[in-house]
Amino acid sequence: MTLPILTVEALRASYGLAEVLFGVGLTLNRGEVVALMGRNGAGKSTTLKAIMGLVPASAGVVTFADTPVTGWEPFRIARLGLGYVPEERRIFTDLTVYENLEVGRRQARGERPAWTPEKLFSIFPNLAEMRGRRASAMSGGEQQMLTIARTLMGNPAAVLLDEPSEGLAPVIVEQMAEAVLRMKREGIAVLLSEQNLYFASTVSDRAYVIEKGAIRYEGTTAELEENDEIREAYLTV
Amino acid sequence: MDPSFLVLQSLSGLASASSLFVIASGLTLVFGVTRIVNFAHGSFYMLGAYLAVTLVPRLLDLSYSPWTFFLGVILSAVLVGLVGVAIEVLLLRRIYRVPELFQLLATFGIVLIVQDVVLKVWGPVDIPGPRAPGLRHGVEILGQRFPSYELLLIGVGPLVLGLLWLVMHRTRFGVLVRAATQDREMVGALGVNQARLFTTTLFLGAFLAGLGGALQIPRLPANSHMDLSIITDAFVVTVIGGMGSVTGAFLAALVIGQLQAFGILIFPKVTLVLVFLLMAVVLVVKPWGLLGKPDAAASRTVAPEGILGLRRFRPPERILAGLAVLLVLVVPLIADAYKVKVATEILVFALAAFSLQFLVGVGGLVSFGHAAYFGIGAYAAGLLVTGPFKAPMELALALAPLAGAAGAALFGFFIVRLSGIYLAMLTLAFAQIVYAVCFQWVEVTGGDNGVVGVWPAAWAASRGTYYYVVAAVVLAAIVALRRVIHAPFGYTLRAARDSATRADAIGIDVRTHRWLGFTLAGAAAGLAGGLYAFSKGSIDPTMISIPQSVDFLAMILVGGIQTVMGPLVGAGVFHALKDVFMPLTEFWRLALGATIIAMVLLFPRGIAGATLSLRPRRPAPASVEASA
C-alpha cells in the first residue's frame, strides 16, 4: 500500500509579476522515485523551489509528512525531513568536503540509521579521497556527488533532486543513477526534475510532464516511453 | 634617521594595527553572514570604552591586579555583545531583505540614538580610563622606552586572529558562519536556522567591537566622537581586506598601521588622506579587496531601488508644480527674515537632494558621500570670495558647480569601476578625504573653524534678494536635471541601473555613462554648496561630514526613493522639521535616528511614494529573472 509523503495541490508561484506556476499538483509516495519531466523553462526547478519554500507560493497547498508546510521557512521544511539538491549544486567552495557535509548534518529521525560521512564515502568513493580538500578544487561531477551527500547528511525522508544528470559526463551520469537507486533502497523518496528521459526511466517509477507551469501528463515511466505523442509535444526539443 | 626610532615607530604602528583589526574583524564577520554593513559597529566600540571606564575602576577598587583589569575589559565586551544581540533581534532581522542603502541608513539611525544615549548617561566630558596594573611603565627597546601596554596590544591582534581561526575551523558554529558567508539561502535549505546563526554572529561581532573599545581605555579617554572616527577606519580596513574576510582584515590593518605610523613622519598633515588613497588604489587594482570574493558583493537578489515607471507631468501635477513654484516665489512677501533664511536653505538642500536622487534613483549609484561635492562647491565659492582672489559672488557661483563637477569627475573615475556596497564605501572614503583635507589644511581652509565672511554681492545682500537669486538658480537647475532624466541619457542610466550586463550587451558604455552622470550630479551638488556658503556667510567642515551626507540621504528617503520629485518634498519636510524640533529637544539625534529607522521599516517609499501608491499603478517590470 502506498502512502503519500509529499502532496502538492494547485501550487502557484511567480517571480515578481511573471507567473511561472499555474496550479501544479503532484504526489510523491513513501520510498518512491518520481520524475518531473519538461523542457527548459517549463517550471521544473520553480516547482521544487516552491515546495522547499525558496520561492514563495502565491496559492496552493504543500503537505509534507502529513504537515501543511506552505509558507514555511526553508530551514523548518528541511528539519521536517525534506532534503533539497539544487541544480546549480551550490557547494560551499571555501569549505572542505568534510565541512560541506558538516553543514548538512542533522539528527536522524525515527529508527532508520543516521548517515555518516563514512557511509556516504562508501557510496561516493571519489569523495573519500578528497575529504580534506577544498570543494573549489573539485570537478563538476564530484561537486554533484558532494551536493547529494551533503543533503543526505540531514537524514531526509524525501529528497528533491533538481536535474541531477545535467551537464555531466556519461560515466558520472551512471554514478548518479546508482546514487538515486541507492537512496531508493534506503527507503528515501525522491522527486527529481529531469530532461533526460533515459535517465528518468532508469531510476524512476512514475513521471509527471510539466509544460508552461502546469502538469500535462502523468503515468509510469514505461508508459511515457511508449507514448510518442506526449514525448513529441512536451519533451523533444 | 635613527634605526631604533624606526623600530619603535613600527612597533607603535603594530599596536594600532592590532586594535584596528580587533574592531574590523567583528565588522567583516557580521557583513559576511548578514550582508549588512553595520554603521553601528562604531557605536559598539564606543559603548565598550564607556562601559570599561565605568566598570574597570570599580573592579580595581575591589582587587588591584591585571586580572581584574582584563576581567573588566572582557565583561564590558560581553555587555556590548548583548547590545548587539538586542539590535539584531529588534532591527537587523527586519531589514535583511531591503536594499543596502536602507540598511546603511537604518544602522546609521542606531548610531544617532546611541550618541544621545551616551551623552545622557555619561555626559559630554571625556572620561579617562585607568591604566592597566603591572603594565603602567615602559620597556627598554634599543635604548628607548616603549609603553608595555602597547606591547601587550601588539599581541592581542594575532591572539584574536588565532582564536577566530579556531572558532571558524574547529566549531560547527564557525563552519556554518563560513558556509553562510558564501550562500546563506543554501544553508537555510539544509535546515540551519539562520535567525539564530545571525544573532550569534552579531553577538560575536559586537563583542569584538566592544573588546576593541574597552582595550583602548588606557590610551584614549572615552569620548562621544569615538564612534564615527573608528567606523571609517574599520570600513577602510574591511574594504581593503575584502569584505567578509577576517584574514584580509588582519593584513589590511597591518598595512594601515604602518602607513599611519610612518606617514605621520613624512606627511604629518595628510595621514587621513594617505589611508583613503591606499583604499582607492587597492579597489582599483583589486575591486573586491585583497582577499575578498566577488560574490560577496554581487549575490544579492534585492531589486534595485530607484525611479520606476518614469513619465511626464499630467495636468494635475502641472498645476501642483505651478503652485509649488508660486509658493516659492511668494515666501519673502509673507515670511519674516528668519523664515526666509530657512526657506533659502530648504531650496539649497532641495537641489542637493535632487542631484543625489539623480545618482541613486536614476543611476543606481548609492553615494554615501554626496556631501563631498556639496562641500567642494561651498569651499570653492567661499575661498574664492574671501581668499587672495577676492572674486565677486557671481564668478564664485559660476565656478562652484565646475569645482563640484571636477571633484566628482576625479573621484567618479574610480567609483564607477565598482558596484554595490564597495561603491558606497568608496564614495564614503572619498568624502572623508575631502573632509580630511578641509579639516587638516588649516592655512587655506581654516581647519575646524572654517572661513567666515562669505557674503553675497552688495546687490544681493538683503535676505529677500538673495532668496530670489537662490530660487531662480535652484529652479533652473532642477528643471535642467529633470530634462536630463527624461532624455535618452537618463533612460540609458536607468537601463544600466537595472542590469549593467544587459545594458553592456546592447552596446551601452555603462562605465562612461555612469561617470558622466556622477559628474553631472557633482556639478549640481557643487552649485547647491556654493549657494549654501553665501546663505550661511561661512564655510566649515561639517558641510562635508558623514552626518551631512546622511541628511541628504534621509531627505530622499523621506521624499520617496522611487519618485522623481520626491526629494524636493523630502528636503522641505526634513529641513523644516529639523529647524522646528532641534531647538526644542536635547535629543534631536535620538529623534532623527528613530525617525530614519521608522521610515525604513514602515514607509520605505517615502511621502511622495506613499501618495503615489494610492493611485492605480501600471505594473512594474519584474526584476528577478525567472528560471525553471
pLDDT of residue B269: 67
Across residues B318-336, what is the average pLDDT? 90
- Please, are residues B360 and B101 in contact by the beta-carbon 8 Å criterion? yes
Q: Inform me whether the C-beta atom of residue B621 falls under 8 Å from chain A C-beta atoms.
A: yes
Mark yes or no for CB contact A45/B627 under 8 Å: yes
Quote the CA–CA distance of B454 and B557 in Å, as a whole number.
31
> Which chain A residues are closer than 8 Å to B621 by Cβ?
16-17
Q: pLDDT by residue (tens digit) across B215-228?
A: 999 999 999 989 98
- How much is the pLDDT for B304? 56
What is the rounded distance in angstroms from the CA atom of residue B302 to the CA atom of residue B418?
18
B534-589 confidence digits (pLDDT tens): 999 999 999 999 899 999 998 998 888 888 888 899 999 989 888 888 888 888 88
CA atoms of A199 and A196, how far apart (whole Å)? 5
**pLDDT per residue as tens digits for the range B340-351:** 999 999 999 999
Average pLDDT over residues B387-405: 93
Q: Which residue on chain B is closest to A150 by alpha carbon?
A: B190
Of residues B304 and B131, more confidence is placed in B131
> Distance between CA B539 and CA B445 in Å, rounded?
9
Q: Any CB–CB contact under 8 A between B181 and chain A?
A: yes
C-alpha cell at B436: 580630511
pLDDT band of B389, cuts 50, 70, 90: confident
Give A174-223 pLDDT, tens digit per residue. 989 999 999 999 999 999 999 988 899 999 999 999 999 999 999 998 88
Query: How many contacts, defined by CB atoms under 8 Å, are there between A and B?
Result: 89
Angstrom distance (rounded) from CA B527 to CA B256: 35
Chain B residues in contact with A151 (beta carbon < 8 A): 190
Residue A170: CB atoms within 10 A of its CB come to: 7
Among residues 153-172 of chain A, which lie with CB inside 8 Å of chain B? 154
Query: What pLDDT score was predicted for residue A18?
Result: 86
A43–B contact, CB cutoff 8 A: yes
Interface test with A, best of B182, B187, B190 (most A CBs within 10 A): B190
A75 touches chain B (CB under 8 A): yes
Q: Which helix (H) or strand (E) holds A33?
A: strand A33-37
Q: B536-568 b/e with 16+ CB inside 10 Å = b?
A: bebbbbebbbbbbbbbbbbbbbbbbbbbbbbbb
Which chain A residues touch B193 with a CB distance below 8 Å? 75
Instruction: Answer yes or no: do A92 and B186 touch at CB < 8 A.
Output: yes
> By CA distance, what is A84's nearest residue in B?
B189
Q: Which residues of A touch B186 (CB under 8 A)?
A: 86, 90, 92
CA distances from B139 to A214, B217, B249 (A): 78, 20, 29
Residue A16: which pLDDT band, with cuts at 50, 70 and 90?
confident
SS3 for A87? coil
Tracing cell 564607556 back to the chain, one arrives at B50
Confidence (pTM): 0.87
Name which of B10, B493, B49, B23 is nearest B231 in CA terms: B23
Contact present, B597 and B91 (Cβ < 8 Å) = yes
Contact A201, A213 (CB under 8 A): no
B232/B572 Cα distance (integer angstroms): 29
Mean pLDDT, rounded, of chain A: 91
Q: What angle do CA B236, B414, B494 make, to 5 degrees?
A: 110
pLDDT the model gives residue B609: 67
For chain A, say whether B616 makes contact (Cβ under 8 Å): no
Distance in angstroms (rounded) separating the CA atoms of residues B590 and B121:
13
pLDDT digits (tens, 9 = 90+) for B158-206: 999 999 999 999 999 999 999 988 888 999 999 999 889 999 999 999 9
Nearest to B619 among A17, A40, A93 (CB): A17
List all residues of chain B from 153 to 172 with a beta carbon under 8 Å from chain A: 172
Give the ipTM of the model, two decimals please.
0.93
Please report the pLDDT score of residue B611 as a whole number.
Answer: 65
Q: Which of A16, A52, A75 sits opposite B624 (nearest CB)?
A: A16
Model confidence over A122-169: pLDDT tens digits?
888 888 888 888 988 898 889 999 999 999 999 999 999 999 988 888
B430 in Cβ contact with B415 (< 8 Å): yes
More confident residue, A196 or B626: A196
Distance CA B155, CA B146 (A): 14
What is the pLDDT, as a whole number, of residue B494? 92
Q: Flag whether pLDDT at B271 surpasses 90.
A: no
CA B44 to chain centre: 16
- Kindly calculate the radius of gyration of chain A based on its CA atoms and give it in whole angstroms: 17
Top-tier CATH class for A4-235: alpha beta
In a mutational test of the B interface, the residue from A75, A85, A131, A148 whose CB has the highest number of chain B CBs within 10 Å is A75
The distance of B616 to chain A (nearest Cα, Å) reads: 16
The whole-number pLDDT of residue B613 equals 56
pLDDT, tens digit, 9 for 90 and up, residues B580-614? 888 888 888 898 899 889 888 887 777 666 665 55
- Compare CB distances from A93 to B182, B622, B623 and report the shortest one's residue: B182
Strand partners, B140: B145
Averaged pLDDT for residues B486-514: 92
B176/A contact by beta carbon, under 8 A: yes
DSSP string, B533-552: HHHHTEE-GGGGSHHHHHHH
Q: Which of residues 265-304 of B touch A (CB under 8 A)?
A: 293, 303
Mean pLDDT calculated for residue range B19-35: 92
Nearest to B172 among A42, A54, A102 (CB): A102
Residue of A nearest to B620 (CA): A17
Measured from the Cβ of residue B143, the count of other Cβ atoms closer than 10 Å reads: 8
Residue B179 is predicted with a pLDDT of 92
The nearest alpha carbon in chain A to B619 belongs to A17
Residue where the block lists cell 533664511? B341
**pLDDT at position B30:** 93
Mutate to test the interface with B, among A48, A103, A107, A193 (most CBs of B within 10 A): A103
In 3D space, the residue among B587, B512, B580, B596 whose CA is nearest the CA of residue B40 turns out to be B596
Rounded to whole angstroms, the Cα distance separating B382 from B340 reads 21
Residues of A in contact with B179 (CB under 8 A): 92, 95, 99-100, 103
State what percent of residues in chain B have pLDDT above 70.
Answer: 94
Whether residue B188 and residue A43 make contact (CB cut-off 8 A), yes or no, is no
CA-nearest residue of chain A to B190?
A104
Average pLDDT of chain B to the nearest whole number = 89
Radius of gyration of chain B (CA): 25
> In chain A, what are the domain boundaries?
4-235
Among A83-92, B163-172, B250-259, B288-297, which is the least confidently predicted range?
B288-297
Min distance A1 CA to chain B CA atoms (Å): 30
> Is the CB of residue B185 less than 8 Å away from at least one CB of chain A?
yes
* A52 close to B (CB below 8 A): yes
C-beta atoms surrounding B284 within 10 Å? 13
Contact between B99 and B304 under an 8 Å Cβ cutoff? The reply is yes
Residue B616 has pLDDT above 90, yes or no: no
Q: Give the residue from chain A lying closest to B303, CA to CA.
A: A16
pLDDT higher than 60, residue B334: yes
Instruction: Give yes or no for B619 touching A (CB within 8 A).
Output: yes
**Beta pairing class for B144-147 and B451-452:** unpaired
pLDDT band at B300 (very low <50, low <70, confident <90, very high): very low
